[in-house]
């Protein structure tokens, strides 16, 4: 923590050394439109100037240091510092940006360094893990972080309070199940006395760790009419076709705000916490209450953003909603994405 502040306090010539934590800071500053230099982990004049400008805008002490209050004001990309938690696909934040930076420096391309742990980052991490002979599970735990050269306070996997049964379904792999339950592949294989390199049989029962379920922050819908009113209001506010917003919400949850998916998507619009944080911090610049109306607002605002990103093309915007914008641009639409898009557009004609 102190290392970040100390490096930022130095003038550029003396700060020529690379501090990987600075890469996380640079990504956060870039997201706020204040830093346009390279993500190089060097606290040069451009980085320090951007920190000072951010502090001025947020009415913080202007000292050029990325202290706790500055990092908190940066939002989801302002933390956690690298080494404070286990990193798996779907994570979002400063530490993910640092991980991507370190992988890039070691020749394992994770794509754009942006602070989101996506499929490409996971693949790069697996390649790196194979090269240093640690568990190739696509999870950045203590051994992987140690191999990357930075200390860690993270255990290899979260401690589970109890175990539950999981029945293997068609298309499941041990790696995917491990990722879903936030446990290393080696740990899951050990719990079930399996060889992680062999196929698992459909219908087999596995023991999986259960983590305490947080109290839902969203209210439960009791009147679908309220949802439709909210959808139409925010569709009008953001200039999105109300028929499209109704169809998407119905496809995602059937207008049920109490629904939480296996991967943590919540509410009427089935929003991941990372998506909610992105919309609040980057698109809206304000907090939105975790209510039915708030869930709808975040979802419609994000849909409006995707429509703008794809020049109003509803098909591509829906595909990006389901699959991710970057994946749509680089890989086109997956078969399951095409089905989702077709279903929403068909619903649109009846909503």
Residue 191: its H or E element: helix 185-192
Decide if 219 is inside a domain: no
Query: Looking at the structure, do residues 283 and 189 belong to the same domain, yes or no?
Result: no
Query: Looking at the structure, do residues 329 and 281 belong to the same domain, yes or no?
Result: yes
Decide if 153 is inside a domain: no
Per-residue pLDDT at 126 exceeds 90: yes
Query: Looking at the structure, do residues 290 and 338 belong to the same domain, yes or no?
Result: yes
227 close to 221: Cβ distance less than 8 angstroms:
yes
Rounded average pLDDT over 116-135 = 90
CATH of the domain at 186: 3.10.350.10
Rounded average pLDDT over 60-85 = 88
At 319, give phi and psi (nearest 5°): -60, -40
Instruction: Please name which of 349, 342, 110, 97 lies closest in space to residue 246, comparing C-alpha atoms.
Output: 349
What pLDDT digit, counting tens, does each position of 73-123 carry?
888 888 888 888 889 888 888 999 999 999 999 999 998 898 888 889 999
283 close to 238: Cβ distance less than 8 angstroms:
no
Q: Coil, strand, or helix at residue 150?
A: coil
Decide if 154 is inside a domain: no
Query: Looking at the structure, do residues 71 and 140 belong to the same domain, yes or no?
Result: no
Decide if 240 is inside a domain: yes
Query: Looking at the structure, do residues 229 and 342 belong to the same domain, yes or no?
Result: yes
Decide if 155 is inside a domain: no
Domain boundary residue among 44, 78, 112? 78
What pLDDT digit, counting tens, does each position of 164-193 carry?
778 888 777 887 787 777 777 777 887 888
Query: Looking at the structure, do residues 166 and 202 belong to the same domain, yes or no?
Result: yes
Domain that holds residue 66: 2-78
Query: Looking at the structure, do residues 228 and 323 belong to the same domain, yes or no?
Result: yes
The answer to which of 12-21, 192-201, 209-218 has the lowest mean pLDDT is 209-218
Per-residue pLDDT at 152 exceeds 60: no
Rounded average pLDDT over 326-344 = 87
> In terms of DSSP bridges, do strands 205-210 and 162-167 run parallel, antiparallel, or are they unpaired?
antiparallel
d(CA 36, CA 123): 27
Per-residue pLDDT at 268 exceeds 70: yes
pLDDT of residue 109: 92
319 close to 328: Cβ distance less than 8 angstroms:
yes
pLDDT of residue 265: 81
pTM for this structure?
0.46
Of 222 and 166, which is predicted with more confidence?
A: 166
Rounded average pLDDT over 220-242 = 82
Question: What sign has the CA pseudo-torsion 307, 311, 316, 319?
Answer: negative
Query: Looking at the structure, do residues 113 and 195 belong to the same domain, yes or no?
Result: no
Query: Looking at the structure, do residues 166 and 274 belong to the same domain, yes or no?
Result: no
Q: Match 């930022």 to its residue by tokens.
A: 8
CATH of the domain at 105: 1.10.101.10
Of 286 and 32, which is predicted with more confidence?
A: 286
Query: Looking at the structure, do residues 132 and 236 belong to the same domain, yes or no?
Result: no
Domain boundary residue among 52, 78, 104? 78
d(CA 179, CA 137): 8
Domain count, the chain: 4
Decide if 311 is inside a domain: yes
Decide if 87 is inside a domain: no
């Amino acid at each position: 923590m102190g290392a970040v502040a100390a490096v930022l306090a130095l003038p550029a010539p003396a700060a020529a050394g690379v501090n990987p934590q600075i890469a996380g800071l640079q990504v956060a500053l870039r997201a706020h439109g204040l830093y346009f230099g390279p993500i190089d982990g060097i606290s040069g004049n451009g980085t320090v100037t951007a920190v000072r400008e951010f502090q001025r805008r947020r009415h913080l002490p202007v000292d050029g240091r990325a202290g706790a209050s500055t990092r908190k004001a940066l939002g989801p990309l302002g933390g956690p510092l690298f080494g404070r938690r286990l990193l798996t696909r779907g994570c979002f934040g400063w530490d993910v940006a640092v991980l991507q930076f370190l992988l890039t420096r070691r020749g394992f391309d994770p794509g754009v360094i942006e602070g989101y742990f996506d499929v490409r980052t996971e693949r790069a991490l697996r390649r790196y893990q194979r090269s240093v002979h640690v568990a190739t599970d696509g999870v950045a735990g203590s051994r992987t972080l140690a191999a990357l050269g930075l200390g860690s306070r993270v255990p290899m996997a979260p401690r589970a309070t109890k175990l539950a049964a999981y029945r293997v379904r068609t298309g499941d792999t041990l790696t995917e199940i491990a990722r879903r339950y936030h446990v290393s592949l080696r740990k899951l294989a050990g719990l079930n006395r399996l060889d992680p390199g062999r196929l698992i049989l459909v219908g087999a029962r596995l023991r999986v760790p259960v983590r305490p379920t947080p109290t839902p922050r969203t209210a439960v819908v009791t009147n679908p009419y309220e949802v439709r009113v909210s959808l139409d209001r925010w569709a009008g506010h953001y200039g999105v076709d109300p028929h499209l917003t109704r169809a998407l919400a119905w496809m995602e949850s059937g207008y049920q705000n109490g629904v939480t998916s296996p991967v943590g998507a919540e509410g009427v619009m089935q929003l991941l916490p990372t998506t909610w944080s992105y919309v609040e911090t980057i698109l809206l610049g304000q907090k939105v209450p975790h209510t039915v109306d708030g869930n709808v607002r975040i979802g419609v605002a994000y849909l409006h953003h995707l429509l703008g990103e794809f020049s109003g093309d509803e098909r591509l915007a829906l595909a990006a909603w389901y699959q991710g914008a970057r994946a749509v641009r680089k890989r086109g639409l997956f078969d399951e994405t095409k089905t989702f898009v077709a279903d929403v557009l068909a619903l649109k004609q009846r909503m």
